[in-house]
Structure 1
Amino acid sequence: MRQKGKFKLARVVVAGLVAGAVMNIGEFLLNGFLMVQEWDQTMRSLNRPPVAGIAIATLGAMTFALGLLTMGLRAMIAPAVGTAGRSTVVAASMAWALAYGLGFGWSFALGVFPARIYLATLAWGLVELQVAAAVGAACERSMAIRGNRSIEAPHSPPPLHAVDSE
């Protein structure tokens, strides 16, 4: 993600958006299908409406932001951590600890959300972030490989050797 000491910002942004898309799919599966009853019960117990509309759009945007931050963090730590695989795992783990462990942990600590939601989200998020970061990193590497090739106008095919017909 660095070339001559500088980030290739466009590649980091695209990789972050890809990672965010993967995470949004994961969140949709977890919260929209697997944990939907738990969320409905919890929101009712809090005297809140079901999660819908603006809340879902906001959470989706926040998830894209987490993807961007994860891939940006990966780009920043890559020189210090070493291999692309290791920097991906470390960045995803750091992002998970901050977003899920600390960012969502308050709700469990204060008893706002039950342990089942917190622990399921924590475990799911760990896997989800690792997968999303790996997909984003693969996307970034693919763009880097393509970016290193010289782009030239298509050439006409080489002429066929004409056979003398004498």
Structure 2
Amino acid sequence: MTGINYSRVLLGGIVAGLLLAGGEAVLGSFVLSSDWEGTSIDPQAVTHGTWHSLGVISVVFLNGFVLTWLYASMRPRFGPGPKTAILSGLTLWLIAWALMGISLTLSGVVTSRIAIVSAIWGVFEVPLAALAGAWFYRENNQTGAQALNA
């Protein structure tokens, strides 16, 4: 058994992060834009400047890296391929989308509608990003198709 190929985790994480960033941008800007007005977050208290944007983007890309690392870590136990990629996506979705949505709703930070729509959106978005990240992750000198179908 070989170790994790971290350069490929980085590459897969960037790809997965790009997909997550695009999906979250559509969700926040179009699907839930009017719903954010009903939250307890004071719009005046949140500055949407450069540091805020960099922070949000960093978290999204960190999710992409974690997603690809989860896939690489799960490969030895579950085998390489789309099934393991989707399982890694659903694992991250459970932790970062579903459980966090419940926590934020219970603490009154977001409305239940925001949490539910985000969770439903994420259950599709995160496994798709995992598939993309997994496509770029490979051990030894495999191609993307070999890595997913090995």
Tell me the number of residue pairs that the alignment of Structure 1 and Structure 2 aligns.
141
- TM-score, normalization by structure 1: 0.76
Q: Measure how far apart 1:104 and its partner are.
A: 3.1
Residue type of the partner of 1:73?
L
Mapped partners of 1:77, 1:140: distance in 2:
12
Q: Classify the secondary structure of the residue corresponding to 2:137.
A: helix
Q: What residue in structure 1 maps to residue 41 of structure 2?
A: 46
Q: Measure how far apart 1:51 and its partner are.
A: 6.6
- TM-score, normalization by structure 2: 0.84
Please list the CA deviations of residues 26-56 of structure 1 after superposition, one character each: whole Å capped at 9, or x if unmatched. Answer: 00000012211111x135x433336722323
**Contact 2:71-2:84 at 8 Å conserved across structures:** yes
Q: What residue in structure 2 maps to residue 117 of structure 1?
A: 114
Q: What residue in structure 1 maps to residue 105 of structure 2?
A: 108
Structure number with greater CO (CA < 8 Å, separation at least 6) is 2
Q: Which runs of 5+ in 2 are unaligned?
A: none
Mapped partners of 1:35, 1:15: distance in 2:
28
Q: Which runs of 5+ in 1 are unaligned?
A: 149-166
Q: What residue in structure 2 maps to residue 67 of structure 1?
A: 64
Matched, 1:86 2:80: no
Mapped partners of 1:37, 1:57: distance in 2:
23
Q: Percent identity?
A: 24
Matches within 5 A, 1:146-165: none
Matches within 5 A, 1:8-27: 8-27=5-24
Mapped partners of 1:93, 1:127: distance in 2:
9
